[in-house]
Chains A and B, each alone.
Chain A
Amino acid sequence: SAVISQKPSRDICQRGTSLTIQCQVDSQVTMMFWYRQQPGQSLTLIATANQGSEATYESGFVIDKFPISRPNLTFSTLTVSNMSPEDSSIYLCSVDSAAGHQETQYFGPGTRLLVL
C-alpha cells in the first residue's frame, strides 16, 4: 500500500484568501485524486491529476477555484482560491496503487479547512 502525507493537517483561514494543500506519496504513482468531504457528508471527487497533463475536473469544480499542480509522480498540490465559509471541508488526496490485477485507492489523512 502507498503511504500518503498531507500538509497542512488543518488550517483556519479568512475569506477571500487562498490555501495550497500539499500531497506527498512514498512511491511513484500515475494518478492522484483530490476529494472534498463536507461536514457529515460523503466524499466528492474534485479532480484527477496525472503527471504531465492538465487535471481533469468533475462537474461543479473549476480550475480557477481549485488549481492543481502535479510536477512529478510523487507530489501534487490543490489550491483552494478566494475562499468562502462554504469551502470549509476536509480535503483528501488519494492515489491508485495496484493490488494484483486490481487498482485500489489509498487516501491521505486529509486537510481540515475552516474558513471564517
Chain B
Amino acid sequence: LAKTTQPISMDSYEGQEVNITCSHNNIATNDYITWYQQFPSQGPRFIIQGYKTKVTNEVASLFIPADRKSSTLSLPRVSLSDTAVYYCLVANSGSARQLTFGSGTQLTVLP
C-alpha cells in the first residue's frame, strides 16, 4: 500500500494561493492520485485526480513530478469557504483496488 504523508495543518489568507503537498514514496505504477475536500459532518468531495505531470480543472491544479513520489494540490485565490480538511488518496484501479487515505490537512483560511 502506498502510504501518504501530508502536513497536519496550514493557515492562509483570503485571496492567496495555497499549495498542499502529499508524499507517497511507495506509489505503484498503476496508482492514481486523488484529492478530496471534506467539511465537518459531510462526506469527502472529489476535487481532482491525476497520474503524472499537471492536471487542472475549474477549482484546482494538481502537480505531479516525474518520479510521482509526491503531489501538490494548488488552490488559487482561496476564500473563507475553502476552510476544510484536504485528503490525498493514492489508489489503483480495477477490481483489486487498494485504498489508502492520508492523514489529511486542515486548511484554515483567515480573513
In this complex, the interface size class of chain B, counting residues with CB under 8 Å from chain A, is 20 to 34
B43 touches A92 (CB 8 A): yes
Q: Cβ of A28 < 8 Å from any Cβ of B?
A: no
- Residues on B with beta carbons closer than 8 Å to the beta carbon of A103: 32, 93, 97
Closest chain B residue, CB of each to CB of A48: B97
B43 touches A105 (CB 8 A): no
- Report how far A18 CA is from B3 CA in the complex, Å: 33
Stretch at the interface among B62-70, B72-80, B101-109: B101-109
Closest chain B residue, CB of each to CB of A10: B41
Central interface residue in A42, A92, A102, A107, by most chain B CB within 10 Å: A42
B49 touches A99 (CB 8 A): yes
A109 touches B43 (CB 8 A): yes
A1 touches B43 (CB 8 A): no
Chain B residues in contact with chain A, CB under 8 A? 32, 34, 36, 41-46, 49, 51, 87, 89, 91, 93, 95, 97, 99, 101-104
Chain A residues in contact with chain B, CB under 8 A? 1, 4, 31, 33, 42-45, 48, 50, 90, 92, 94, 96, 99, 102-110, 112
A-B contacts, 10 of them at CB < 8 A, read A33-B99, A42-B87, A43-B87, A45-B99, A45-B101, A92-B44, A102-B49, A103-B93, A103-B97, A104-B34
